[in-house]
Structure 1
Amino acid sequence: MLSVRGVCVARGGVPVLEGVDLDLEAGQALVLRGPNGIGKTTLLRTLAGLQPPVEGRIEISPDLVAYTGHSDGVKATLTVVENLEFWARVFGQGDIAPALAAFDLEGLVERQAQNLSAGQRRRLGLARLMVTGRPIWMLDEPTVSLDAASVKMFAASVQAHCDAGGAAIMATHIDLGLDGQVLDLSPYRAIGRMAAGGFEEAFE
């Protein structure tokens, strides 16, 4: 589903990771690990097609990817059900009931997103993934603001997604107990390199 060969990614014109090789197969969950600032977010954004790599090859169809970053991606003045119905329409999907159930949102369907707690908003943001119909989930620190019970809910939804033939790649420091693999990005840290034309950009 995803093949990455010799990829270098940059932040602010400065390469942060280089020579990255990885494969993501149907049914697989892959967790990216490494110290803060190493480039996990930059790599995920690059894999999702939100920014180009400096070099290397990424083989993936962007139509397969659903990405969620640090923002919850919800509309504050819409209710929980309206938010999910909006995203379902965007992706040409229909039934939102499984997403509501998976993230324990049934009791909140008429509440506006702006009136949710931080954890509830995060659950709503993650529930969006289920209404995209896309097989590859890319998630950057998905468990932020989630309590222990909600983390279990999230892990269960990812496992169910993979068991159904989907795949997930995520950056998280939490052990989710998934049947998957861990990729430590430390060996790929770029040292002493500058992207072409990126010197001034790096200091803007």
Structure 2
Amino acid sequence: MSLSVHSLSCARGGIQVLTGVGFAVAPGEALILRGPNGAGKTTLLRTLAGLTPPLEGRIDAPDDGIAYAGHADGLKAQLSVAENLRFWAGVFGATGIEAAVEAFDLGELLDRRAGNLSAGQKRRLSLARLLVTGRPVWCLDEPTVSLDVDNVARFARAVETHLSNGGSAIIATHIDLGLPTARSLDITPFTRRNQPVTVDEADPFLSEGAL
């Protein structure tokens, strides 16, 4: 099933930042979100992933859900690389971590505590978690932060494999990932700045300053 968005309006911190967003991403497709900093790419991805409720509009997504990877690595620092992957595999009912380890070249790091990894290694482990979710749609917010050229290419290969298996991806990035079939969407025309909304309409956690 494809993911489709219809007349979506989104808010962040009690301020409406996007209005009238519409697009569709079919299985096997990648969509690259473009736009300047502050245009609303992160807000849109968080809304798609169900982390922030929309103000208006509709999101039609596959029943088995969306995997989201944001700026935070989301790792358990006291656990090893292998333990982090096994934890998330257990959460999502995956049967193994081997494909994730191979895709992001984590074999020599399996016994190392996540808290002792470099920034680039943490990012690779964070992205490797996507492969154990089993979720068909990936929403990725600047996923290549802290990655060198070789690991950007490794990430792009992981995305291509996901697409070839019928998955889809929506990615906010400022760099060329080398995905020749990916489409681009400039969200600037949907940006609506400085439009206050009430607490009932906005994300209540953001409105109350809890995040």
Same fold (TM over 0.5): yes
Aligned-residue offset at 1:157: 0.2
Matched, 1:125 2:133: no
**Counterpart secondary structure, 1:159:** helix
Distance (Å, rounded) in 2 between the aligned partners of 1:111 and 1:67? 24
Give the C-alpha shift of residue 121 in structure 1.
0.5
Indicate the RMSD between aligned Cα atoms, in angstroms.
1.8
Corresponding residue for residue 188 of structure 1: 190
Q: Which runs of 4+ in 1 moved over 6 A?
A: 201-204
Matching of residue 170 in structure 1 with residue 175 in structure 2: no
**Conserved in 1, the CA contact under 8 Å of 2:62 and 2:136?**
no
1:61 deviation in Å?
Answer: 4.0
| Counterpart amino acid of residue 181 in structure 1 | R
Q: Residue 72 of structure 1 aligns to which amino acid in structure 2?
A: D
SS at match of 1:153: helix
Amino acid of the structure 1 residue aligned with 2:171: M
Q: Using the TM superposition, give the Cα deviation of residue 196 of structure 1 relative to its aligned residue in structure 2, in angstroms.
A: 3.6
Name the counterpart of 2:111. 110
Q: Which amino acid aligns with 2:152?
A: V
In structure 1, what is the Cα distance between the partners aligned to 2:100 and 2:157?
12
Q: Percent identity of the aligned residues?
A: 57
Aligned to 1:28: 29
* Per-residue Cα deviation, 1:145-199 (whole angstroms, up to 9, x for no partner): 1011110000010011001100010111011011210100111111463324579
User: 2:143 matched to which residue of 1?
Assistant: 142
Please give the TM-score of this superposition, normalised by the length of structure 1.
0.94
Report the TM-score when normalising by structure 2: 0.91
Give the distance between the partners of 1:102 and 1:203, measured in 2 at CA. 40
Query: Which residue of the partner structure matches residue 56 of structure 1?
Result: 57
**CA shift digits 1:90-131 (9 cap, x unpaired):** 000112111101001001111111111100000000000001
Partner residue of 1:69?
70
Larger deviation, residues 63-72 vs 155-164: 63-72
In structure 2, relative to structure 1, the CA distance for the partners of 1:14 and 1:62 (3 Å cut) is farther
Whether 2:61 is the aligned partner of 1:42: answer: no
Give SS of 1:193's match: strand
Letter of the 1:4 partner, please give it.
Answer: V
For each residue in 1:19-59, what CA deviation from the matched residue of structure 2 results, as whole angstroms up to 9, or x when unmatched? 10010110001110100011100000000011111111111
Aligned mates of 2:196, 2:126 — CA distance in 1: 35
Instruction: State the one-letter code of the partner of 1:33.
Output: R
Change (3 A) 1:85 1:190: same
Instruction: Give the length in aligned residue pairs.
Output: 203
**Structure 1 residues 108 and 203, CA, compared in 2 at 3 Å: closer, same or farther?**
closer
Structure 2 Cα separation of the partners of residues 177 and 186 of structure 1: 23
